[in-house]
Chain A
Amino acid sequence: MNAALAAGVAAAATCAYARGERIRVRKVDAPGHIRTPHYIRGKIGVIERCVGFFKNPEELAYGRSGEPLRALYRVRFLQSDVWDDYRGGPGDTLDIDLYEHWLEPVTAP
């Protein structure tokens, strides 16, 4: 690991959200290379785990360094929260890996 990457790790090595915390995916429509699926934006989910720290693909896609590293989470959603017409079981869930800058805290239930 080179020095810049090590510095990036140090700068980003805290997960802002804890397991079990409810979050909302930012409802942002922007151009550019985005790894957050359109269908999940604006939806509420629960942090399943903080996966680790990775270079930001939104920056890597344009030839830049991707640093500082960004925290990546596995976020769990109820399928019935994601799809209006979901006909599967009421407890069915969907896990998606999402970067921290796409998440915002849910204040009221």
Chain B
Amino acid sequence: MGAREPAKLTGLSVSATIGTIAPDCARISPMRAYHDLGGLSAGAVPQEEHELQLWEKRVEALLVLLTRKHILRVDENRRGLESLGGEVYHSLSYAERRILAMSNNLILKGIFSVDELATKLAQIDRRQDPLP
């Protein structure tokens, strides 16, 4: 996998085209959560190193900050990841699904509104350099 751009957040949904590991969903029982993959066949494990891009590091930094400031707990973030739905979850990269779960949680907590986030995303879209 080469360098990739962050998927664009459009409102609350993320459009992503690059797939990640998709488990053999047919073997997952209805009550087995889609993120709970232990023991399922996942094919070959990619061995090449993946250098984190700046925006991916910022996603992790954001989560650390939110946790340290007692705004968001890691357990809440995990619950957010587990609430995206299997199709979205497995189509997004690690950092993409984390920023989406974080966004949903922060809206839920009233840290910002859907409209505020949408307005900011539109501003970023108009920038020459999206990651200054």
Contacts and interface: CB of A to CB of B under 8 A. Distances in A.
Interface of A is mostly: loop
B130 to A, nearest CB: 32
Nearest to B39: A39
A30 B75 CA distance: 17
Q: How large is the interface on A (under 10, 10 to 19, 20 to 34, 35 or more residues)?
A: 10 to 19
B73 interface: yes
Nearest to B81: A33
B73 A61 contact: yes
Nearest to B72: A63
Interface string A11-55: 000000000000000000111011001111000000000000000
Contacts of A57: 75, 78
A7 interface: no
Contacts, number: 40
A63 B33 CA distance: 20
B38 A37 contact: yes
Given A29-B31, A29-B32, A38-B33, A61 B78 contact: yes
A31 B39 CA distance: 19
Given A60-B73, A61-B73, A33 B36 contact: no
